[in-house]
């Protein structure tokens, strides 16, 4: 049964579960407590922060543990903006995850911030020249994701971050889709803040982190006991932190070779779909994209019809960002690329990882062809 929806949630790694279990079954332990169980929990948290930082080219003091990528994005966008280092204007793109876009809109609605959505090309790419033209003395924040879950296109983050830095503007990047798929280093990218989520890299849902430079002004979203240096109050989930740390370490070990192999397999699947189903339209950049990510528009059918037919055949794929499941509106990212709304509603996305077999991918192509033949007999 091919599971090709890793961009929504990747399978949990057994080694991650084994690392988490002692912290779930070992008895009560609050890392803020002074007794021995508390000290043990605090030591596990410190280890997790070191591992997360090492996997992503940051420092342990930069790591803020969160309940997932959505919270990390909200903390980055709202936290940086509300700390108000300067200006009341946010520069972003229409291909961002809803956690970023809706945070920007909340700031516009409740805080009087202006939000500038940069143009993107047909593949959904932001051009650095447009960033340079947008950054001015009133810019509070630039936030551009490494890659969109719907398009797969990889953005020139290092160039964009350099422009923001030259303008004295903090730069955040949502790396939720890219972590574990592409080599990532916060230091090498030159960003001030970066969001990641555990369930995209082999940890359970409910674990995430915002890596934010310790010197970056950041207004907390959660107030309370002052945990995590006051940047995110609340008793830390030690098991989740350990799971995220182990998942990131496993995902980054040997990443370059694994990503290259996935990209080759991605190319083979793309070629097979193009040959057998020439009416399909590949979305995003055909080459400079996440290595295990493919997305098509299929004129003449709806996403829902194709997904249901594939699910009946034992193949799990998606229509785009899982956070918008059940929505009938076309994806904002696709519209920004110049795709008409009716066509945007036909998107089908397949995303896979190293454990996905060639047989799984071949079965997907066969079943997609069969599904479309049943839905459109003339295909």
Quick: pLDDT tens for 92-150: 999 999 999 999 999 999 999 999 999 999 999 999 999 999 999 999 999 999 999 99
pLDDT of the residue at 28 = 84
Of 270, 367, 273, 274, whose CA–CA distance to 316 is shortest? Answer: 367
What DSSP state is assigned to residue 126?
B
Helix (H) or strand (E) run with residue 174 in it: strand 171-174
Residue 171 has pLDDT above 90, yes or no: yes
Are 172 and 76 in contact by the 8 Å Cβ rule? The answer is yes
Over the chain, what is the mean pLDDT? Answer: 95
Q: How far apart are CA 273 and CA 9, in angstroms?
A: 24
- Whether 104 sits among the annotated catalytic residues: the reply is no
Handedness of CA 64, 70, 76, 81 (dihedral sign): negative
Are 364 and 317 in contact by the 8 Å Cβ rule? The answer is yes
Cβ-proximal residues to 14 (8 Å cutoff; 6+ apart), any chain: none
Cβ-proximal residues to 78 (8 Å cutoff; 6+ apart), any chain: 103, 106, 107, 219, 221
Percent of the chain past pLDDT 90, that is, above it, reads 92
Contacts 24+ apart (CB under 8 A), 35-39: none
Residue 321 has pLDDT above 90, yes or no: no
Whole-prediction pTM:
0.94
Helix (H) or strand (E) run with residue 351 in it: strand 347-351
Structure tokens at 218: 């950041």
Q: Reduced to 3 states, what is the DSSP secondary structure of residue 70? A: helix
Q: Given 323, 324, 335, 379, which residue is catalytic?
A: 323
Structure tokens at 35: 């007794």
- Give me the residue label for tokens 């700031």: 107
Bridging pattern class, strands 208-212 and 171-174: unpaired
| Helices vs. strands in the chain: H and E counts, helices first | 13, 10
Please state the length of the chain.
Answer: 379
Are 192 and 172 in contact by the 8 Å Cβ rule? The answer is yes
pLDDT tens digits, 8-63 = 999 999 999 999 999 999 888 899 998 998 999 999 999 999 999 999 999 999 99
Q: How far apart are CA 83 and CA 89, in angstroms?
A: 13
């Amino acid at each position: 049964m091919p599971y090709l929806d890793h961009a929504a949630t990747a399978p949990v790694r057994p080694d991650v579960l084994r690392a988490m279990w002692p912290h779930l079954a070992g008895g009560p332990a609050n890392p803020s407590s002074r007794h021995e169980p508390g000290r043990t929990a605090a030591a596990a948290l410190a280890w997790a922060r070191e591992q997360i930082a090492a996997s992503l080219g940051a420092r342990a003091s930069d790591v803020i543990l969160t309940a997932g990528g959505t919270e990390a994005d909200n903390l980055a966008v709202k936290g940086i903006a509300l700390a108000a280092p300067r200006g009341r204007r946010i520069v972003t793109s229409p291909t961002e995850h809803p956690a970023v876009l809706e945070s920007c809109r909340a700031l516009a609605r409740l805080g009087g911030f202006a939000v500038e959505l940069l143009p993107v090309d047909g593949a959904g790419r932001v051009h650095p020249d447009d960033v340079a033209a947008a950054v001015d003395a009133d810019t509070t924040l630039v936030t551009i994701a490494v890659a969109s879950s719907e398009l797969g296109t990889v953005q020139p983050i290092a160039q964009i971050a350099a422009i923001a830095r030259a303008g004295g503007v903090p730069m955040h990047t949502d790396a939720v889709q890219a972590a574990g798929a592409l080599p990532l280093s916060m230091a090498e990218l030159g960003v001030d803040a970066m969001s990641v989520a555990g369930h995209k890299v082999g940890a359970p849902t409910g674990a995430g982190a915002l890596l934010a430079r310790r010197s970056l002004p950041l207004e907390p979203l959660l107030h309370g006991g002052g945990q995590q240096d006051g940047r995110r109050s609340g008793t830390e989930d030690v098991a989740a932190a350990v799971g995220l740390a182990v998942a990131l370490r496993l995902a980054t070990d040997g990443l370059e070779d694994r990503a290259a192999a996935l990209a080759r397999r991605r190319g083979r699947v793309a070629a097979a779909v193009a040959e057998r189903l020439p009416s399909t339209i590949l979305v995003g950049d055909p080459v400079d994209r996440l290595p295990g990510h493919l997305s098509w528009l299929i004129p003449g059918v709806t996403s829902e019809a194709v997904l249901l037919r594939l699910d009946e055949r034992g193949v799990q794929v998606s229509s785009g960002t899982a956070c918008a499941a059940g929505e009938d509106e076309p994806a904002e990212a696709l519209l920004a690329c110049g795709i008409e709304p009716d066509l945007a509603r036909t998107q089908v996305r397949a995303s896979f990882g190293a454990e996905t077999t060639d047989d799984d991918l071949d079965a997907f192509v066969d079943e997609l062809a069969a599904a479309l033949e049943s839905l459109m007999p003339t295909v």
